[in-house]
């Protein structure tokens, strides 16, 4: 799709989201959709197209689209999948704004459906088509819904959040269950045949009322477009919170059948989200709670919490679970302890999290929480959160209201984040949440989800800052290259020869025939590693094609003969006429692996981890998508368990980062040809030097 067509579709998407008129095409199935539009508060014109019915949903029908007064801004289509294509073509030719196709059985249903979806895309032209296989869109800021049935619609007066979901049911469940949640837009995008997630993000960024955007994704359509939209969100300071589905081999087939897009591995999803400044969560509830926090007038600026609960047991649990998520609980200073003790009785423990046990009305006053907890909000704290589960009986609950009233006052005076949260998932009744949120205090529900949301939201400021630095120093992600189909493995010497000009340290050595190796064996210096050179043998150790610590010319000859015998026993068809002799690394300290693999739709993924034979066993690695900035590589290297265990000094860590940079630079310069690259081991020696001891390179020839 060229940019001009995408731009025209995005302009038409604005018409769809804020329509002056909505047309419905279909039979009885459109009646609940018409009712939903009215229920949402739509004040514009409603038109219905059907050749036989006189009225549908108490609206007079016209026999064809041509009989409508003008091209509609928005249309809901509820006819067969074949007929949908004709309707879409007619709307596009007429210059309509956008349409929602709620029917399914397109690409998600197999080859026949995929062919129909291709026809649908061609028919759409500049039309902003949502779906197919979706529920549609609702705009609760302006009271508009082009939605596939009855639903809860809650008007949002000022600022709020947007939800963009590939699953119709995720959108349906959140919009019908969540309350005291400022959901301005809900979009069920289905198969993303015409409009994809990037288009909807772009639309949300155009509306200044949207303060945070939530995404539920099952598969990738256009990574380059998603990257561009996500980075625009970073520049604008609008957080993107994402929940992914699928991601494993076992789930890929299910995801494909559901929405017609293909899942990628969890690790690649995470790498993509991190490079784009997107906050990843792991459940629908965490998605909702994190959006609440990030859409607040005072979102968390960091991960340092002052927490309080009505129970010492809960307080301990909050601290334990919170620290496991990376949250910090600053220890109270002596001055804070003294000042707090003057305001609250001995029942309150002077720890963080606090056991804020004020069970009697004489103790529970607005002043005790307003001024008592204010003492704790010094420069070492970013967030104050009070955990309470509201009793069902009003006379029991009333004793706790003064505490919340004091928190409201504190919120209004402080520049810090002030929250209340429940331990139990339904611990805060709707009326209380609405009362608190109307005062600006965000309410979270459920201990685990609330803490996870705080941890996710707290990381946004740092994540955004890192991506902004990255954006200032390099281009955005370019269009991913198509994976080469016919690629060949290079022998080790050829692969290393390609990497060496990029500054990667390669062992001194010689390669060639047996005669050449024997004649020049003394040149590199002993001890030597002797290896078979054969591009048809990817894993030399498996075949016994490596001999180490060779100390003499006689040892070289013996090593070659041993390798020949091993390989002949392993696979007699493999040639054994070319060898590599290299100096071994003196005083090796640690082994790392650096690999690059071409991923369809994503470009190249870079893996950095512990090397040698322990790669799969220890699973100590980080994954990045290329191009990767120096800071991203530094963060990945420093985050490895082996790096932390070794306590590398600055020089050693810098040498390791430089080696990874060299490999990444080679991969980017050769992205059209490179299929796979594996440097393992990359050895760090006692002197702080880094050497690529082995290299596997697979290139398109």
569 CB-near residues (< 8 Å, 6+ apart): 544
Which residue in 535, 608, 544 sits closest to 578, CA to CA? 535
pLDDT at 314 > cutoff 60: yes
Is 672 exposed, middle or buried, given 0-12, 13-18 or 19+ CB atoms closer than 10 A?
exposed
Percent of the chain at pLDDT > 70 equals 93
Contact present, 662 and 504 (Cβ < 8 Å): yes
560 CB-near residues (< 8 Å, 6+ apart): 514, 517, 518, 530, 579
pLDDT at 619 > cutoff 80: no
Q: What are 367-425's pLDDT values in tens digits? A: 888 888 899 899 999 999 999 999 999 888 888 888 899 999 999 999 999 999 999 99
Confidence of residue 612 (pLDDT cuts 50, 70, 90): low
> Per-domain residue ranges for the chain?
3-294, 305-458, 508-583, 588-700
pLDDT at 240 > cutoff 70: yes
Residue 602 per-residue DSSP state: T
Confidence of residue 249 (pLDDT cuts 50, 70, 90): very low
H or E stretch covering 233: helix 223-236
pLDDT at 255 > cutoff 70: no
| Mean pLDDT for the stretch of residues 488-509 | 94
H or E stretch covering 532: strand 528-532
Q: What is the pLDDT of residue 99?
A: 98
pLDDT at 618 > cutoff 80: no
Q: Give one DSSP letter per residue of 673-699, joined into a string.
A: TEEEEEEEEEEEETTS-EEE--EEEEE
Q: What are 438-456's pLDDT values in tens digits? A: 999 999 999 999 999 999 9
Which residue in 10, 53, 55, 58 sits closest to 37, CA to CA? 58
Which has more confidence, 38 or 340? 38
Which residue in 629, 614, 584 sits closest to 680, CA to CA? 614
Which residue in 511, 541, 505 sits closest to 524, CA to CA? 511
Q: Same CATH topology for 3-294 and 588-700? A: no
Q: What is the pLDDT of residue 262?
A: 38
The verdict on pTM exceeding 0.75 is: yes
Neighbours of 520 (CB within 10 A): 16
Q: What is the pLDDT of residue 358?
A: 64
| Mean pLDDT for the stretch of residues 574-589 | 94
Q: What are 326-359's pLDDT values in tens digits? A: 999 999 999 998 988 887 777 777 889 988 776 5
Q: What is the pLDDT of residue 481?
A: 56
Q: What is the pLDDT of residue 654?
A: 94
**Considering the chain, what is the average pLDDT of its residues?**
90
pLDDT at 261 > cutoff 60: no
Which has more confidence, 395 or 226? 226
| Mean pLDDT for the stretch of residues 514-529 | 93
| Mean pLDDT for the stretch of residues 277-287 | 96
The residues with which 581 forms a beta bridge, in sequence order, are 510, 530
Contact present, 599 and 446 (Cβ < 8 Å): no
pLDDT at 476 > cutoff 60: no
Distance, in Å, from the CA atom of 100 to the CA atom of 188, rounded to the nearest integer, reads: 10
Q: What is the pLDDT of residue 24?
A: 98
258-267, 287-296, 388-397, 535-544: which has the minimum mean pLDDT? 258-267
What is the dotted CATH code of the domain comprising 305-458? 3.40.50.261
Q: What are 44-62's pLDDT values in tens digits? A: 999 999 999 999 999 999 9
Extended beta strands in 373-506, E state: 383-387, 417-421, 442-444, 487-489
- The SS3 of residue 501 is helix
Q: What is the pLDDT of residue 603?
A: 81
Residue 117 in tokens: 């979806």
| Mean pLDDT for the stretch of residues 314-330 | 95
Q: Which CATH architecture has domain 3-294?
A: 3-Layer(aba) Sandwich (3.40)
Exposure string over 56-81, b if 16+ CB within 10 A, otherwise e? bbebebbeebeebeebbbbbbbbbeb
Which residue in 123, 200, 125 sits closest to 163, CA to CA? 200
Which residue pairs, CB below 8 angstroms and at least 24 apart, start in 226-229? 226/196, 226/197, 226/198, 226/201, 226/276, 227/276, 227/476, 227/477, 228/198, 228/476, 228/477, 229/197, 229/198, 229/199, 229/201, 229/202, 229/205
pLDDT at 246 > cutoff 80: no
Distance, in Å, from the CA atom of 434 to the CA atom of 508, rounded to the nearest integer, reads: 71
Which residue in 545, 539, 540 sits closest to 566, CA to CA? 545
Q: What is the pLDDT of residue 162?
A: 98
Residue 94 in tokens: 């007429």
pLDDT at 472 > cutoff 90: no
Distance, in Å, from the CA atom of 149 to the CA atom of 76, rounded to the nearest integer, reads: 11
Does domain 588-700 sit in CATH 3.20.20.140? Answer: no
Which residue in 228, 230, 227 sits closest to 239, CA to CA? 230
pLDDT at 499 > cutoff 60: yes
Distance, in Å, from the CA atom of 139 to the CA atom of 156, rounded to the nearest integer, reads: 9
Confidence of residue 213 (pLDDT cuts 50, 70, 90): very high
Alpha helices by DSSP H, listed for 571-649, are 615-618, 630-638, 641-646
Q: What is the pLDDT of residue 479?
A: 53
Distance, in Å, from the CA atom of 648 to the CA atom of 668, rounded to the nearest integer, reads: 28
Q: What is the pLDDT of residue 250?
A: 42
Neighbours of 646 (CB within 10 A): 14
Q: What is the CA radius of gyration of the chain?
A: 31
Q: What is the pLDDT of residue 295?
A: 95
Q: What are 136-160's pLDDT values in tens digits? A: 999 999 999 999 999 999 999 989 9
Does domain 508-583 sit in CATH 3.40.640.10? Answer: no
Matching residue, tokens 């600053």: 330
Q: What are 163-198's pLDDT values in tens digits? A: 999 999 999 999 999 999 999 999 999 999 999 999
pLDDT at 616 > cutoff 80: no
Distance, in Å, from the CA atom of 647 to the CA atom of 657, rounded to the nearest integer, reads: 15
Is 20 exposed, middle or buried, given 0-12, 13-18 or 19+ CB atoms closer than 10 A?
middle
Distance, in Å, from the CA atom of 649 to the CA atom of 643, rounded to the nearest integer, reads: 10
pLDDT at 573 > cutoff 60: yes
Residue 501 in tokens: 């000009």
Q: What is the pLDDT of residue 247?
A: 47
């Amino acid at each position: 799709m060229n940019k001009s067509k995408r731009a025209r579709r995005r302009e038409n998407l604005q018409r769809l989201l804020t329509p002056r008129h909505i047309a419905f095409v279909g039979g009885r199935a459109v009646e609940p959709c018409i009712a939903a539009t009215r229920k949402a508060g739509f004040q514009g014109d409603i038109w219905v197209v059907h050749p036989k019915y006189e009225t549908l949903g108490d609206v007079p029908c016209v026999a064809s689209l041509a009989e409508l007064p003008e091209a509609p801004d928005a249309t809901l289509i509820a006819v067969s999948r074949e007929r949908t294509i004709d309707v879409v073509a007619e709307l596009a030719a007429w210059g309509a704004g956008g349409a929602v196709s709620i029917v399914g059985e397109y690409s998600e249903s197999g080859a026949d459906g995929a062919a129909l979806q291709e026809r649908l895309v061609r028919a759409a032209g500049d039309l902003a088509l949502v779906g197919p296989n979706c529920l549609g869109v609702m705009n609760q800021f302006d009271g508009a819904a082009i939605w596939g049935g009855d639903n809860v619609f809650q008007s949002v007066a000022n600022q709020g959040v947007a939800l963009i979901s590939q699953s119709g049911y995720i959108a349906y469940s959140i919009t019908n269950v969540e309350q005291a949640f400022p959901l301005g837009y809900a979009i069920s995008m289905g198969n993303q045949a015409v409009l994809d997630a990037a288009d909807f993000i772009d639309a949300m960024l155009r509306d200044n009322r949207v303060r945070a955007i939530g995404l539920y994704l099952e598969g990738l359509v256009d990574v380059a477009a998603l990257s561009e939209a996500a980075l625009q969100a970073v520049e604008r300071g609008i957080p993107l919170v994402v929940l992914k589905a699928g991601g494993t081999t076992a789930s890929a087939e299910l995801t494909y059948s559901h929405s017609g897009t293909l899942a990628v591995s969890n690790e690649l999803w995470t790498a993509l989200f991190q490079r784009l400044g997107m906050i990843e969560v792991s459940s629908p509830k965490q998605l909702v709670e994190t959006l609440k926090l990030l859409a607040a007038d005072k979102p968390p600026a960091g991960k340092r919490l002052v927490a309080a609960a009505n129970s010492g047991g809960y307080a301990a649990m909050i601290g334990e679970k919170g620290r496991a998520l990376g949250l910090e609980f600053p220890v109270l200073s002596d001055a804070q302890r003294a000042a707090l003790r003057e305001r609250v009785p001995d029942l309150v423990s002077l720890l963080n999290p606090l056991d804020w046990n004020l069970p009697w009305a004489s103790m529970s006053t607005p002043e005790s929480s307003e001024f008592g907890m204010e003492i704790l909000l010094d420069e070492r704290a970013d967030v104050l959160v009070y955990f309470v589960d509201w009793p069902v009986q009003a006379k029991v609950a009333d004793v706790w209201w003064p505490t919340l009233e004091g928190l409201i006052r504190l919120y209004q005076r402080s520049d810090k984040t002030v929250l209340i949260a429940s331990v139990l998932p339904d611990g805060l009744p709707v009326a209380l949440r609405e009362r608190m949120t109307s005062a600006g205090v965000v309410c979270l529900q459920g201990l685990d989800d609330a803490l996870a949301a705080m941890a996710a939201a707290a990381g946004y400021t740092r994540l955004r800052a890192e991506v902004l630095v990255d954006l200032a120093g390099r281009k955005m992600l370019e269009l991913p290259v198509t994976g080469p189909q016919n690629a060949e493995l290079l022998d080790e010497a050829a692969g290393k020869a390609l990497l060496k000009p990029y500054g990667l340290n390669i062992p001194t050595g010689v390669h060639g025939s047996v005669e050449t190796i024997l004649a020049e064996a003394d040149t590199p210096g002993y001890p030597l590693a002797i290896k078979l050179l054969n591009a048809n043998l990817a894993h030399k150790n498996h075949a016994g094609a490596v001999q180490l610590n060779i100390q003499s010319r006689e040892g070289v000859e013996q090593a070659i003969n041993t390798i020949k015998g091993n390989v002949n026993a392993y696979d007699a068809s493999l040639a054994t006429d070319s060898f590599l002799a290299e100096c071994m690394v003196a005083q090796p300290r640690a082994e790392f692996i650096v690999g690059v693999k071409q991923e369809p739709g994503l470009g190249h993924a870079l893996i950095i981890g512990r090397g040698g034979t322990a790669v799969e066993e220890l699973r100590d690695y980080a994954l990045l998508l290329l191009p990767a900035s120096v800071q991203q590589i530094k963060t990945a290297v420093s985050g490895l368990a082996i790096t932390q265990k070794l306590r590398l000094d600055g020089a050693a860590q810098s040498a390791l980062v430089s080696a990874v940079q060299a490999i990444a630079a080679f991969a980017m310069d050769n992205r059209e040809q490179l299929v796979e690259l594996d440097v393992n081991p990359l050895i760090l020696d006692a002197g702080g030097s880094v050497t690529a001891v082995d290299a596997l390179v697979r290139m398109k020839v």
